[in-house]
Amino acid sequence: MSVSTVVPREQTQKILDRRAPVATRYMASTPFTTTDRLEDCARQFGANVSLMEGDLRYTYAQFNARANQVARALHAKGVRKGDVVALSMENRSAFFFAWMGIAKTGAVAAFLNTHVSGKPLAHALEVTGARYAIVGEECMPRFAETEGIGEHLVYLHWPDAERPAADALRAGFGDDLQQLAAQEPSDNVPVEWREDLRAGDTAQYIFTSGTTGLPKAAVVSHARWLMAGDAMKLLWEIAPSDCFYCFLPLYHGAASMSATSTAMSAGASLVVRRKFSRSEFWSDVRRYQITCCQYVGEICRFLLSAPPQANDKEHSLRKMAGTGLTPEIWQQWVNRFGSQFRIYEGWGGTESNTNTVNVDNHVGSCGRVPFWEKTNLRLVRYDQEKGDYIRDENGFLQLAGVNEPGEALGMVIQHPEVVAGRFEGYTNVEATEKKILRNVFQQGDAWWSSGDLLRCDEHGYCWFVDRIGDTFRWKSENVSTMEVTDALVEFPGADAVTVYGVQVPGHDGRAGMAALVMLPGVAFDADGFWKLALERLPRYAAPLFVRLMDTPDMTGNYKLRKVDLQKQGFDASLVSDPLYIRDDRLKTYVPLSPQAMAEALRG
């Protein structure tokens, strides 16, 4: 089938209807959890390879045994049902053993971004209420440089052969959990440890950036994690013989929810890589006979930028799922690497209570809604200039028209037993309430506000348009402009700092740009700004562009006019102010030029 073939409306719905029974399989009171899924895998697929990392191989039986040992070691340290255990570790097999060991005690795992330190790290530990922290040796330096986080935590660490920590540093992170676990029995732990734990209870906290500054901890129940895997197994037609490539960070929902849960639902394999490598991608695919992988649009662009090879079409990869694949990159990908791909471009998020997925290879679309009455998704009219909804004469929101961009909303199912369609929210009650719109189409209804603009064409195909507000997405990461601003406002000599995302031709998402107003008589210190940005922010969040302005661009009520700044971007025909771009090789910001931009984007 051609990737541009439009599948008939009825056939598309049949594919989508495969996951309908999944919604009724896991009620809130269902006595089945993440742990039960792993133990079922050990019984049903015990001899199947579950995890591959380098030359290491672990069957499902071995995976389950390792998790049991970790659980016993944690239990001996005092971890009990309901406790929160923070997990800071890069992608490796040990992450899975620690994660599932936490689950087997009945505790909640809080996945920490391995790039953050300082205030964001302290915030993550505080909002999750973590009492214990499992820290991989590779992440120890970020904890060590963050003040005031050790007093209330019980630390355990996990060795890292690739990047071992110094003895003096390791001494501050408690016992060696790997060593403790190795001394424990490997049989299944007592079910009494998880007594009364149900599918609707919290399994994990996964951080997601919003528009309110520091990242929020999204609540993920056992049921949501299980449903994600069961639904994707059916939609992607995953079998035990399939093999997933896991290079996206496990602290995000894409890898830990979609990929891991889907693989375990089918008894399939996972190949774990620390991080994406353009040079090693296809050799890994061929070495491990990988059939499935997740992507973000940037990943595909990076792979296409490598020189063509004679064996580009000789590989086992057949199924890809992700977000941000533009029609142009999609078509280039298929032309170069083969027409056999099933590409499941989707829309949704870690905390979302609704989603769409492209099941019929329609290039560029993030999904199709043949019958709106069968989904809780709606698109409503939104005025981007005013930053507000367009309402009817009764004050209710209006549905967006055909091909009219509208904000995606998900109707909140308000039933104590139903998890599908429930908005599980965040650890912060106020942050949760801010994402719920009430009295949207009628009095008493409630809808989750996504902050994303989609449009839907006359055939029911949905297309991602943009992100509303002060969050932009770059290098597959959500970036909060407020968080970036907070990190940069203390730049010496700066009178005002405005941060926003700008579109870069040929690249998915938006790159960060900072408009600076310097105090009179103070020159812009390009080296100092680079140093401050890269010390305080992950690389993906540090502004790629800088604009030096005489005065901040404000509205009459003293709100920064970010919409205009975004529109102007770094277009020299629209901007007369000095423009700079980040040069990580020189560790500074240099005047913007075509050559400087090519160098920056090449990195």
- Determine the Cα–Cα distance for residues 102 and 113; give it in Å rounded to an integer: 18
CA separation for the pair 235, 66 (Å, rounded)? 31
pLDDT at res. 6:
45
Q: Among residues 603, 581, 389, which one has the least CA distance to residue 502?
A: 581
pLDDT number for residue 14: 62
Its sign, for the CA torsion 148, 152, 153, 154, is positive
Q: Does domain 371-467 have CATH number 3.30.1360.170?
A: no
Alpha-carbon dihedral sign for residues 523, 599, 566, 217 = negative
Q: Please choose, from the candidates 485, 475, 479, 538, the residue with its C-alpha nearest in 3D space to the C-alpha of residue 121.
A: 538
pLDDT for the residue 4: 38
Domain ranges of the chain: 9-347, 371-467, 471-602
Q: Is the pTM of this model over 0.75?
A: yes
- Return the structure tokens found at 472: 């932009």
Neighbours of 21 (CB within 10 A): 11
pLDDT at residue 560, as a whole number = 57
β-pairing, 545-549 with 579-583? antiparallel
User: In 3D, which of 285, 292, 284, 218 has the Cα closest to residue 258?
Assistant: 292
Exposure class string for 127-156: b at 16+ Cβ within 10 A, else e:
bbebbbbbbbbbbbebbbebeebeeebbbb
What is the Cα–Cα distance from 161 to 545, expressed in whole angstroms? 37
Distance CA 196, CA 592 (A): 60
CA dihedral sign of residues 535, 541, 544, 548: negative
The DSSP symbol for 48 reads S
Q: In angstroms, rounded to a whole number, what is the distance separating the alpha carbons of residues 266 and 240?
A: 5
Counted residue by residue, the chain has a size of 603
Q: Quick one: how far is CA 444 from the chain centroid?
A: 32
DSSP string, 365-406: -SEE-S-GGG-SEEEEEEETTTTEE-B-TTS-B-B--TT--E
Give the residue carrying structure tokens 């055939």.
459
Retrieve residue 401's tokens. Answer: 């028209």
pLDDT for residue 479: 83
Could you write out the DSSP letters of every residue in 339-374? TT-EEEEEE--SS-S--EE--S--TT-SEE-S-GGG
- The CATH number for 471-602, chosen from 3.30.70.240, 3.40.50.720, 3.50.50.100, 3.30.300.30, is 3.30.300.30
Q: What is the CATH number of domain 9-347?
A: 3.40.50.12780
Could you state, in chain order, the average pLDDT of each consecutive group of 10 residues for the chain (603 residues)? 45 61 88 97 98 98 98 98 98 98 98 90 95 97 90 94 91 96 98 96 87 79 96 94 96 93 98 93 98 87 86 97 86 93 92 93 91 93 84 96 96 92 95 95 96 93 82 78 83 88 87 92 96 93 95 50 82 93 96 93 76
* 3-state helix/strand/coil string of 212-240: CCCCEEEEEEHHHHHHHHHHHHHHHCCCC
Write the CA distances from 485 to 1, 471, 497, 528, 597, integer angstroms. Answer: 48, 12, 7, 16, 23
DSSP-assigned states of every residue in 415-430:
-TT--TT----BSSHH
Q: Give the residues across from 53 on adjacent strands.
A: 56
CB-count exposure of residue 392 (10 Å: 0-12, 13-18, 19+): exposed
Residue 256 and residue 250 in contact, taking contact as beta carbons nearer than 8 Å: yes
Please tell me the predicted confidence (pLDDT) of residue 209.
59
